[in-house]
């Protein structure tokens, strides 16, 4: 803090251009990843179809970006590094922005804090080179170059060495640069990207590579996401394409059973620009609220497009935040679009559930067979020899399985064959087998019925012959009674009974005979977990979810064949039945060829 002598007026003076650029650089270029983002976005604005990024020492020593865009003329170069000079806008309309860059600060900022060299050539023009070091610009020189631009940034922050102390390790900075490239690669699937690490005397080491893809947006994005996020994501992702009120949401969102332990696979773009916007990411979270527990996170890659004049991207120097003219419309589109897609997925669960099951079954050490694989004929003969021999005088033992009805095996979840440990239904399908958690599956089915009832007519209630009196703490009693009207819409009628007691007069009919005390305790637990941040609708659905647990088939209950098959058929007809109310899978499907592989039969 500057201390001034008393009664001495401080003098106001303009800063020199070099100081202004260094201050501006602190807003635009926080770390090497920020520099890479600005340079690659410039290349995209120049129409590049292939962009190569090279770095050394985590970008602190070298960052080189090469593109095949439109390039620049010798006369363009001095203007390119001048502060607030840009070809993206003319300054008359700051709301109608259709490019990544528009502020005209990036190159000037980079030249102020590092050693910047630009070599470029436009179609039909001559190649030229310009160097700026610590804010000092050298003369433009002729240079041999192909069409496009090469920007080389060396010794980042050499002119402001204090900033170097705030950078992380080379590895952490390199990971941040890779994250930037991957985000832009997902935003622009028809552009090729390469990220390489270079070291003195060694060939470049490719860290990330994504070739340009052809086809329409969804075809290109599908291939790019498989490259960036892996096959598991794209195999378990739902196509999102919804348009409403002049806004369109497109991309892919994963099934709830493909949830992650953190938000690392959440990517949102606005008009093709990757953003880290809390409101949009919050809408993504709300869309999955009904399907995931609070410690799990959805995975999605979404692009929200609208008229540029309906969104302000000039909110932050890094352009990572946006502000919508109608924020509720954007939020509603994300929630509606994702919930519609999840509903259309029906009972589908992610393939990673089966993969994890098979991995758990496989032995840790590889099996070694000491003989060649016998032929199918030899195997069939061997199995026939091993078949049990009928003993005269003894009746054949009944089969320990349920015989399926005709055609049920061909249905998606197959035909029930058995129940094991009084909780798991084993069903045979045309391609393998399904293992169903009867409690988790029925809990989801009851929950969906309760939601439908609430939306249509309110949850039907059944009156108790004798009201059940539940003693609570003063705070718990007050919390429940404050929500009495809302709970009545859920079929749960309560009223004060003197002191801290609450009288339960009606319970939801769909739950059957239920302990009112246990139900109230569960609702209080849910309200405590939710806190005060959730909307009333979210709280009501969370309470319904807890209620559904009380009305579902309990673990330990033996089921008849017709009950098991009825459960499978209802799962097939009910949206979201592939996961329970907390995002866990309700069933595992194992393909026959995978099962045979477990036993070495393939």
Please, what are the domains in the chain?
17-210 (3.30.565.10), 217-344 (3.30.230.10), 346-361+403-602 (3.30.1370.100)
Beta strand extents in 134-284 (DSSP E only): 136-137, 141-142, 148-154, 192-199, 202-210, 237-244, 247-254, 266-270, 273-275
Confidence of residue 95 (pLDDT cuts 50, 70, 90): low
User: For 472, how many CA atoms within 13 A lie in the half-sphere containing its CB?
Assistant: 30
User: Is residue 186 over pLDDT 60?
Assistant: yes
pLDDT at residue number 319: 64
pLDDT at residue number 418: 92
Enter the tokens of residue 351: 């393939």
Query: For 485-515, how does the pLDDT look when each residue is reduced to its tens digit (9 = 90+)?
Result: 888 888 889 999 988 899 999 988 877 788 8
pLDDT at residue number 530: 61
Average pLDDT over residues 442-447: 89
CA distance 579 to 419: 20
The strand pairing partners of 120, in sequence order, are 128, 149
Q: Of 58-62, 414-418, 550-554, where does mean pLDDT reach its minimum?
A: 550-554
pLDDT at residue number 362: 64
The 10 Å Cβ neighbour count of residue 358 is 16
181 CB-near residues (< 8 Å, 6+ apart)? 36, 40, 53, 193, 195, 208
Average pLDDT over residues 217-234: 93
pLDDT at residue number 391: 46
Q: What value, to the nearest 5°, has the Cα angle with vertex 271 and ends 269 and 272?
A: 55
Mean pLDDT of the chain: 82
Q: Of 218-227, 265-274, 365-374, 554-563, where does mean pLDDT reach its minimum?
A: 365-374
Average pLDDT over residues 68-74: 93
User: Which of 7 and 193 is assigned the larger pLDDT?
Assistant: 193
pLDDT at residue number 64: 97
237 CB-near residues (< 8 Å, 6+ apart)? 225, 252, 253, 254, 255, 258, 299
Query: For 380-434, how does the pLDDT look when each residue is reduced to its tens digit (9 = 90+)?
Result: 555 455 555 544 544 444 434 566 555 678 898 999 999 999 899 999 999 899 9
pLDDT at residue number 92: 46
Would the pTM of this model clear 0.85, i.e. be above it?
no
User: Is residue 85 over pLDDT 70?
Assistant: no
Comparing C-alpha atoms, which of 233, 198, 202, 227 is closest to residue 212? 227
Neighbour-count burial of 88, counting CB atoms closer than 10 A to its CB (0-12 exposed, 13-18 middle, 19+ buried)? middle
User: Is residue 4 over pLDDT 60?
Assistant: no
Q: How far is CA 514 from CA 192, 468, 504, in A?
A: 60, 11, 11
């Amino acid at each position: 803090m500057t201390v001034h002598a008393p009664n001495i007026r401080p003098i106001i003076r303009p800063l020199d251009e070099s100081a202004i650029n260094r201050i501006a650089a602190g807003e635009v270029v926080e770390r090497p990843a920020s520099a890479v983002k600005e340079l690659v976005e410039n290349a995209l604005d120049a129409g590049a179809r292939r962009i190569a990024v090279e770095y050394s020492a985590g970008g602190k020593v070298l960052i080189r970006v090469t593109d095949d865009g439109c390039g620049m003329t010798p006369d363009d170069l001095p203007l390119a590094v001048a502060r607030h000079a840009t070809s993206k806008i003319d300054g008359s309309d700051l709301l109608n922005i259709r490019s990544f860059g528009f502020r005209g600060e990036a190159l000037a900022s980079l030249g102020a804090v590092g050693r910047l060299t630009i070599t470029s050539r436009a179609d039909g023009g001559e190649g030229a080179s310009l160097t700026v070091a610590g804010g000092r610009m050298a003369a433009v020189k002729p240079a041999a170059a192909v069409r496009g631009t090469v920007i080389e940034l060396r010794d980042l922050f050499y002119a402001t060495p204090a900033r170097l102390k705030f950078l992380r390790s080379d590895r952490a900075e390199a990971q941040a640069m890779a994250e930037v490239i991957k985000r832009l690669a997902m935003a622009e699937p028809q552009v090729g990207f390469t990220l390489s690490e270079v070291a003195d005397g060694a060939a470049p080491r490719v860290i990330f590579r994504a070739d340009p893809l052809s086809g329409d947006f969804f075809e290109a994005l599908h291939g790019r996401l498989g490259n960036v996020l892996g096959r598991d994501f794209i195999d378990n992702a739902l196509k999102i394409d919804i348009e409403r009120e002049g806004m369109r949401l497109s991309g892919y969102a994963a099934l709830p059973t493909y949830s992650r332990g953190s938000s690392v696979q959440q990517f949102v773009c606005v008009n093709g620009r990757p953003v880290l916007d809390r409101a949009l990411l919050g809408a993504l979270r709300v869309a999955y609220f009904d399907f995931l527990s609070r410690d799990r996170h959805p995975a999605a890659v979404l692009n929200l497009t609208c008229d540029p004049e309906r969104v302000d991207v000039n909110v932050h120097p890094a352009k990572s935040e946006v502000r919508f003219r109608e924020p509720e419309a954007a939020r509603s589109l994300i929630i509606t679009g994702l919930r519609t897609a999840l509903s259309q997925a029906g009972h589908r669960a992610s393939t990673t559930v089966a993969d994890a099951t098979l991995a758990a079954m496989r032995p840790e050490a590889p099996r070694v067979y000491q003989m060649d694989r016998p032929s199918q004929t030899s195997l069939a003969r061997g199995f026939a020899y091993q078949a049990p021999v009928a003993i005269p005088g003894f009746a054949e033992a009944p089969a320990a399985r349920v015989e399926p009805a005709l055609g049920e095996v061909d249905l998606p979840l197959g035909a029930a064959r058995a129940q094991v440990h009084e909780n798991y239904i084993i069903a045979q399908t045309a391609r393998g087998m399904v293992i169903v958690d009867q409690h988790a599956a029925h809990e989801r089915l009851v929950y969906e019925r309760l939601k439908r009832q609430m939306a249509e007519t309110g949850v039907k209630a059944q009156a108790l012959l004798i009201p059940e009196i539940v003693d609570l703490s003063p705070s718990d009693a007050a919390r429940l009674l404050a929500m009495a009207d809302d709970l009545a819409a859920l079929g749960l009628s309560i009223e004060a009974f003197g002191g801290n007691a609450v009288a339960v007069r009606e319970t939801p009919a769909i739950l059957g005979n239920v302990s009112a005390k246990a139900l109230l305790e569960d609702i209080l637990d849910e309200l405590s977990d939710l806190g005060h941040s959730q909307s009333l609708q979210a709280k009501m659905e969370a309470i319904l979810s807890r209620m559904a647990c009380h009305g579902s088939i309990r673990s330990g209950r033996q089921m008849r064949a017709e009950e098991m098959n009825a459960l499978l058929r209802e799962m097939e007809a009910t949206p979201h039945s592939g996961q329970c109310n907390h995002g866990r899978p309700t069933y595992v499907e194992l393909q026959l060829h995978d099962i045979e592989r477990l036993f070495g039969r393939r």
